[in-house]
Amino acid sequence: MLATSVLLGTLGLALGLRGTGVAIAAFGLSMSSTALVLQLLAEQRALNTRPGRMAFAVLLFQDLAAVPVLALLAVPGGAHPGFGLMLRGLLAVVLVVLGGRYLLRPLLHGLAAAQVPEVFTAAALLIVVGVSLAMEAVGLSASLGGFMAGVLLADSEYRHELQADIEPFKGLLLGLFFMAVGMSVDFSLVASRPVPVLGLALGLVSLKALVLAAVGRVNGLRRDALALFVASLAQGGEFAFVLFDLAGRAGLIDPAQRQLLVVAVTLSMLATPPLVALALRLRAEEASPRPYDEIEVGEVPVVIAGFGPFGQIIGRLLRMRRIAFTVLEKNWQHVDFVRRFGGGVFYSDATRLEVLRAARCDRARIFVIAIAEIETSLAIATTVRRHFPQLRLLAMARNRQHEMQLLQLGAHRVIRRAYVSSLELAEQLLRELGDTPQRASRTIGLFRRHDEDTLAQQLALLGDERAQMQTALTAARELEQLFAADEASAREST
């Protein structure tokens, strides 16, 4: 962040800023948009990737670094902070922190005990507004107060409940914020002064991209991951609008310069979604950077397609029993990870007939599909049943519909991914509620047999959604009657 600020300081000098104004402009331009970036990465399911986690770390550091700058800028009338103001500000911060630790938690505990979600949510919003107004009353920034209130609420044991309650408001308030920013932007500057505006926006993105690329390289990011990391953070952020507004009120930046900076940051944020989309496309194109492995294996009884968590458990059990098996896995990164621990896995595509032949499926006894992706799973099942009918086909299904499709294609045994584990947990739950082990086991067995019978009925009606829905409703009523009869029988026996 320091390197970015130093480079962006040259842009501030080019705009005619001097002294503290250059520093504020450079710092504001170095900030990235937390709200925009996290939303984009979450939508693209890239937040848990390595570049996504690195981007989140950078954003978190930037937000924390902005707090003291906001405090220093929050001086009424643009005066320099005197000793009295600094003392009042420090005292206010200390009181907020202590109040949050010793008063906020008992208050939230009492509100939670009332079990009225609306009151709980309203109290959280009231705390944020109240702390913001208190900070503004002592001469600090209302933004700083809101930030501190959010940190205190997030530090409480009710943070998850608060997050769930406030979630519906987050998108609305964020949208209002960006609408307010958009209404304050003078886009006529783009038409009247296109060269400085576009040059500043391009310079902002380019300089930040250079620094981010260097950071990514130092941390060992590959080219595709580096592109996503750079594209995610190369824009300006919403904190810049707050900083520029405070700097303008303090007389550190004149209105024309402030408007130019705001427009440049806005344009950089508008450029972020297409840049991220381009980086993700590059990442997809480089997802398979090497040719498939040459498969040279002897005759084995078991072939497994897919070696995620489900397939790995099967493989570990087979290895314990010293039963040879061949694994076909399409994710090369996953293959490399497993090989570090000595796993015999081939990077290959199990949907291809030549791959199945190379894996000696013609000499195997059992083929296991441990892939949750429905289309890929069905394609493999179709190829196996058509060309290797002697194989026993066992498969994992993602859901009930997937299970029926696999059975229709000729799979001999299908297990839904969470089915057995959920039944086991349900049996434990019944025991916790007071059932004897025998009764809990009987209940689970009754449910399982009835579910398998219902599945067989629905399999015969595959393709007729209305008939399947009617079968499900009828089966639910029958199951309730079975449970009622079982409970009556249990009472009579006691």
**pLDDT for 298 beyond 90:** no
Does the pLDDT of residue 369 top 90, yes or no? yes
What long-range pairs does 459-462 form, CB within 8 A, spacing at least 24?
459/404, 459/407, 459/408, 462/404, 462/405, 462/408
Tell me, what's the pLDDT at 388?
A: 93
**From-to residues of CATH 1.20.1530.20 in the chain:** 2-285
Whether the pLDDT of residue 161 is over 60: the answer is yes
pLDDT attached to residue 304: 92
- Residue 380's pLDDT is what? 93
Residues of the chain with CATH 3.40.50.720: 296-417
Mean pLDDT, range 121-130, rounded to an integer? 82
Q: Which of 95-99, 197-201, 268-272, 310-314 has the lowest mean pLDDT?
A: 95-99
User: The dihedral of CA 304, 307, 308, 311: what is its sign?
Assistant: positive
Average the pLDDT over each of 281-285, 286-290, 449-453 and give the range with the smallest value. Answer: 286-290
Contacts with 47 (C-beta within 8 Å, 6 or more apart), sequence order: 38, 41, 53, 56
The residue that leads in pLDDT, 415 or 468, is: 415
Compute the distance between CA of residue 298 and CA of residue 325 in angstroms, rounded to an integer. Answer: 10
Instruction: Sheet with 413-416: list strands edge to edge.
Output: 345-347, 325-329, 302-305, 366-369, 392-397, 413-416
Distance separating alpha carbons of residues 64 and 202, to the nearest angstrom: 26
> Span 75-92, mean pLDDT?
57
Q: Tell me the percentage of the chain whose pLDDT exceeds 70.
A: 77
328 vs 99, residue with greater confidence: 328
Mean pLDDT is highest, among 28-37, 389-398, 476-485, for: 389-398
Most confident range, picked from 114-128, 206-220, 354-368: 354-368
Fold of 296-417: Rossmann fold (3.40.50)
In this prediction the pTM is 0.52
Domain 2-285 has CATH 1.20.1530.20: yes
> Average pLDDT of 123-136?
82
Average pLDDT over residues 234-260: 78
Q: Where are the beta strands (DSSP E) in 249-360?
A: 302-305, 325-329, 345-347
Report angle CA 76, 81, 86 to the nearest 5 degrees: 105
Q: Which of 2-11, 56-65, 365-374, 476-485 has the lowest mean pLDDT?
A: 2-11
- The pLDDT of residue 309 is 82
CA separation for the pair 449, 485 (Å, rounded): 16
Most confident of 83-87, 131-135, 200-204, 470-474: 200-204
Question: Coil, helix or strand for 116?
Answer: coil
- Percent of all residues in the chain with a pLDDT value above 90, rounded to a whole number: 8
More confident of the two residues 314 and 224? 314
Distance CA 321, CA 276 (A): 48
Alpha helices in 359-436 (DSSP H): 374-387, 400-408, 419-432
Between 160 and 204, the higher pLDDT residue: 204
pLDDT at 109: 78
